[in-house]
Amino acid sequence: METFPQRILLGPGPSIIDPRVYRALSTPITGHMDPHFLGVMKEVRSKLRRLFRADYEVTIPVSGTGSAGMEAALVNFLEPGDDVCVLSGGFFADRMVNIARRTGANVQVIETEWGLPTDPARVSRELAGKRLKMLAAVHGETSTGVLQPLEPLAAIAQKHGALFVVDTVATLGGMVIETEKIGIDVCYSGSQKCVGCPPGLAPITVSERAMSVLRARKGPVQSWYLDLSGVEKYWGTERTYHHTAPISLIYALNEALNLIEEEGLDARSARHARNIAALGAGLSALGLEPLPAREYRMPMLATVRIPAGVDDMRVRSRLLERFNIEIAGGLGAFKGKLWRIGMMGSSSSEGNLLLLLAALEILLAEEGVGRAKGAGVSAAQSALESATEAVHA
C-alpha cells in the first residue's frame, strides 16, 4: 500500500493547499478552446488584476513556475544591446541577472550584501547620466528574507524612462502590492506561495507601456513559449490558439483566487503580518537571530541564523520525519547557515507557528542549545495576545 506524507509546509513555498483548491484542481477538464474554459480564463484574468491591483489588459498566468514568469518578464522586453540594471542582494535576483544576460542585453548589476535591502540613493548615484531601458528588482527575496521597499526604486526607473520590473513571487497574495499605483510595469509571481495554488503557474501583469516596448521590438522574443505577443492573443479577445493551457492548474488558481477574495486581501495581509510577528517573537525567544533588520523583514518568511554547533540537516530531517514539518535551509552562501521559515497562504496559521516552535524547542534542546521549555511558544502566545500587526514585532 502506497503511503503519502501529510506535510506541514513551512518552507519558502510551496505552501499548504486548501481542500477547495484541490477539489477545483481535479475538476474534469474541458478542451482549452471550450467556451466554458474560456469563461474561466476571463474570470482568472479579472481576479488577477484585482490581486495585483493593476488594471493592465495583459494580466495572465504564464504556463510555468515562477521562474518561467521571471524569464517572461525579462526576455519579452530586452533585446541585444539594451541597458538593464538588476538590483541584486540574493539568489533570485542573481537568477534575474543570469536570464537577462542570455538576452544579449548590457546587464549592470548593483550588488548589495545578502540580508540588506538595496539603498535607493546608491542606485541613483550609480545610474546617474546613464541610459536605462529596464530596472529590475525582487520584492521579497526568499533567499534572505529581505523585503525591498519599491516606491523609491519606481521613482528612479521613472526618472530614467525605464521599465520597472518586479519579482513578487513570494509576496503576492500575502500583502497588498499596489502594482499600478507604485508604477510597476511588469510584475510577476508564482502560484504556489501566498497565492495558495499548486506550483506550475506564474501570474504576470504587464503595463501598456511595456506592451508597446514589446510591440516595437526589432527582433522576435527569443522564447516562443513565453512570447507574450503570442500568449496574449489566446488569453485576450482574439482567442487564437497559442499553446494548450494547463487547464487543471488554472481551475485551481481560479479557486485559490476566490479564497483570497473571500478573505479579503487586507485581512489576509493582516493575518500574514500577525502570524509572522508571533513566529518571530518565538524564534527570538529560542535564541535564533533574524537575518534582516526589523523594518526589512518579509511578512511571510522568517530567516534566522542557525546557532553555532547545530546541525542544519539533522534538525530539518527530524522536523520532517518526526513532526512532518518542512522548513528550508539556506541557498548559496547561506547554505548550512540559515533557516527559512515560511508562513504563506494557508500555511500562515496560529496553529502552525505554535507547533513549529514547540517542535523546534525539542530539537534545539537535543542539539544542546535549548532554552527554558516553552520559551518560544510562550513568547509567540504573548505576541498573538497583543495581536500586534507590526512585522516581526
Residues that bind a second copy (CB under 8 A): 4-7, 9, 11, 13-14, 17, 22-23, 25-36, 63-68, 71, 75, 95, 98-99, 101-103, 190, 192, 198-200, 220-226, 241-249, 252, 320, 326, 328, 331
In the chain, the N- to C-terminal Cα span, in Å, equals 46
**Which CB, 63 or 118, lies closer to a second copy?**
63
Q: Residue 62: which of 75, 79, 80, 78 has the closest Cα? A: 75
The 3-state DSSP class for residue 270 equals: helix
d(CA 106, CA 150): 23
Let me know: does 283 contact 10? Beta carbons within 8 Å. no
Give the number of other Cβ atoms within 10 Å of residue 188's Cβ: 28
CB of 130 to a second copy, least distance (A): 25
Least spacing, CB of residue 246 vs a second copy, in Å: 3
Minimum CB distance to a second copy smaller for 1 or for 372: 1
Q: Tell the smallest beta-carbon distance from residue 27 to a second copy (Å).
A: 6
CB of 64 to a second copy, least distance (A): 5
Which CB atom, from 1 or from 128, has the smaller least distance to a second copy?
1
Q: State the burial class of residue 233 (Cβ atoms within 10 Å of its Cβ: 0-12, 13-18, 19+).
A: middle
Nearer to a second copy among residue 83 and residue 326 (C-beta): 326
Report helix, strand and coil shares of the chain as percent, to nearest 5. 45, 15, 40
32-38 contact pairs (CB < 8 A, 24+): 32/241, 32/244, 32/245, 32/247, 33/239, 33/241, 37/245, 37/247, 37/250, 38/239
Minimum distance, C-beta of residue 147 to a second copy, in the bound complex (Å): 21
Q: Tell the smallest beta-carbon distance from residue 265 to a second copy (Å).
A: 22
Residue in the structure block whose three cell numbers are 488569453 = 235
Which residue has cell 522574443?
221
The CB-of-248 to a second copy minimum distance in angstroms stands at 4
Beta bridge partners of 8: 325
Kindly tell me which of 80 and 374 has the beta carbon lying closer to a second copy. 80
Min dist. Cβ of residue 122 to a second copy (A): 27
**Number of neighbours of residue 135 by Cβ within 10 angstroms:** 27
Is residue 88 within 8 A of residue 65, CB to CB? The reply is: no
Cβ atoms 367, 351 nearer than 8 A: no
